[in-house]
Amino acid sequence: MGGHEAVEVAKTVLEVTDVTWTALECSHHLHHHHDAPHNLHNFELQKELETLKSKNRRLRNQLEQNLKLLNNLSESPILLNDCPPNLYARLVSTIDSRDFLT
């Protein structure tokens, strides 16, 4: 295991963050216009929300794969001093949370 896997994990985390932020903005916008009549704008927002949900599922799967890589990396003697001992457990707990990217 090496730096390549760590870079992939970092890229996935950044991508998840970006999708999460976009989803939050979309959700806020939908709630803001909740009482508005259904129109083309609301339809477009719903379509965007479905796209974000699809990205969320893809990223969740990718993040689960990257968690396995992180587990392997955390067992590397070179990195033992650089990572907190409970890093893997914290990441798994976050992923398994009912609130993760919902």
Instruction: Copy the structure tokens of residue 33.
Output: 């216009």
Secondary structure of residue 98 in the 3-state scheme:
coil
Instruction: Copy the structure tokens of residue 23.
Output: 């989803």
Is the pTM value of this prediction over 0.85? no
Task: Check residue 80 and give its pLDDT.
Answer: 58
30-61 per-position pLDDT tens digit: 555 555 555 777 788 788 888 888 887 887 78
Task: Check residue 19 and give its pLDDT.
Answer: 78
Task: Check residue 1 and give its pLDDT.
Answer: 45
Asked if pLDDT for residue 12 goes beyond 50, the answer is: yes
Helix or strand (DSSP H, E) at 85: none
